Amino acid sequence: MVALARKTLIYEWRRFLPAMLAVGFAGLLQLLQIALVLGIFGSTSLYITGSSADIWIGYPGTQSVGSGRTIDADVESHVLMDPAVQRVEPYIWVDGDWRGPAETGGVSVFVSGIDPSADGLMFSKALPADLRARLAEPDAVVVDRSVLDQLGVSIGETATINGHQVRVVGISSGLRALGGVNVLCSLDTARRLDDDPADAGPTYLVAKLRDPGQADAVAARLRGDTAFGPYTTWSAKDFAKISVRYWLFDTGAGAGVLFLAGIVFLVGAVITSQTLIAAVNGSVREYATLNALGVGVGALRKVVLEQAFWVGALGLLGAGLLGLVLMLLARSQDVPVVLTVPAAVACILLVMGLAAVSGLAAMRALRRADPATLLR
């Protein structure tokens, strides 16, 4: 077979360049947008994904980790009685007001009070062991590298949270929060920092199971009891999903993503289809000649579609390479970007869908390839 579509694309690449650029930019925009949104909103479930707990126990109806309310401390012993549970520890969330040594004004911080023992579950994947050990000292806190300027401190310095003095004993990385700053401390320190007298118990209890595969079943089993006041349970996976979904949809960010995806698709498809139509128009006499010689309209349409496919594939390749470079750059600057397989697949589908729609639009231009018009 003579590869008409490909040879034309290569020989007349200048003609097809706008389409490839349009497709490439559409793909790149979409890719970066999804990676940023996933990166930013992924940090809202860091408390869950950065910890090794299989089950979370908290106040019923909690939408995200930051909006929990205290539960009865006695739930802990009840949970421990379940034979599937290996370890339970409290997790205390305190909203705090940070005053640093430098003139920064008040900064809103999210205080996470965790068990500083070596086998503690909270932040076990995000916090190095030596930093965790240092939290055992009274009033010791760890903050993220990226917020040092914002907090106006460096390691060894003191500041106050809710009027209580704390001392920065360590700097971690990868603990960025959304809408505030994460501050890690021990459970004891967190209790001291909490100035709300209504808060008696922990905000959450987190549990490790002997068999993590049973998380859903155990969570369901522990949910039924009401003897200790209101509380409910989630498997860690479910709670992370609830948390991310809350941020995506209740903040309108998800709608924004979809809206921009629609705009990108529309603009990309208009430019791409116009370019492909111009390419068809440029060869319309040649296509008409092939049709006069008996080559069917279907075969000619396939040529146009194949061109659209190659435009999409090449644009995607460019977007992928450039996107990779930009994401690595973002990572090196502590900009949270995350790309998951489903997100990448969504990008590919969007771009190839765009190319396909443009190809279908360009196929209509073949109607002008009527061989009778060659005879005048």
Partner 1 sequence: MPTATAAAQIHAPALLAEGISKAFMSGDQRTQVLDGLTLSLDAGELTLISGPSGCGKSTLLAILSGLQKVDSGRVQALGSELGQLDLRALERFRLQHTGFVFQGFNLFPALSAFEQVELPLNHMGLSRNEARRRAQQSLEEVGLAHRMRLRPSELSGGEKQRVAIARALAKEPELLFADEPTSALDAANGQMIIDILHRIARTHGTTVLCVSHDPRLVVHADRVLAMEDGRILSDRRPAAPAASDQEIPS
Contact set with partner 1 (CB under 8 A): 1-2, 4, 7-8, 10-12, 283, 285-286, 288-297, 299, 371-372, 374-376
Nearer to partner 1, 146 or 307 (CB): 307
Q: Are 300 and 4 in contact (CB under 8 A)?
A: no
Dist CA 178 CA 64 (whole Å): 12
Dist CA 337 CA 258 (whole Å): 18
Q: Which residues contact 220 (CB under 8 A, 6 or more apart)?
A: 233
Residue 293 Cβ, how far from partner 1 at the closest point, in Å? 5
Nearer to partner 1, 4 or 35 (CB): 4
Nearer to partner 1, 118 or 372 (CB): 372
Nearer to partner 1, 228 or 309 (CB): 309
Residue 278 Cβ, how far from partner 1 at the closest point, in Å? 14
Backbone angles phi, psi at 53, to 5 degrees: -75, 145
Nearer to partner 1, 278 or 297 (CB): 297
Dist CA 252 CA 201 (whole Å): 33
Nearer to partner 1, 210 or 285 (CB): 285
Dist CA 264 CA 25 (whole Å): 9
Q: Which residues pair with 94 in a beta bridge?
A: 111
Dist CA 268 CA 353 (whole Å): 11
What tokens were used for 176? 């960025």
Q: Which ranges of the chain does DSSP label H, i.e. alpha helix?
A: 4-11, 13-42, 46-49, 75-80, 129-134, 148-151, 187-193, 215-223, 236-245, 253-282, 284-292, 297-332, 341-363
Of 146, 151, 76, 61, the C-alpha closest to 106 is 151
Nearer to partner 1, 227 or 376 (CB): 376
Concatenated DSSP letters of 81-128: TSTTEEEEEEEEEEEEEEE-SSS--EEEEEEEEE--STT--TTTTTS-
Residue 290 Cβ, how far from partner 1 at the closest point, in Å? 6
Residue 299 Cβ, how far from partner 1 at the closest point, in Å? 6
Residue 302 Cβ, how far from partner 1 at the closest point, in Å? 11
Residue 215 Cβ, how far from partner 1 at the closest point, in Å? 59
Nearer to partner 1, 10 or 258 (CB): 10
Residue 323 Cβ, how far from partner 1 at the closest point, in Å? 30
Residue 352 Cβ, how far from partner 1 at the closest point, in Å? 24
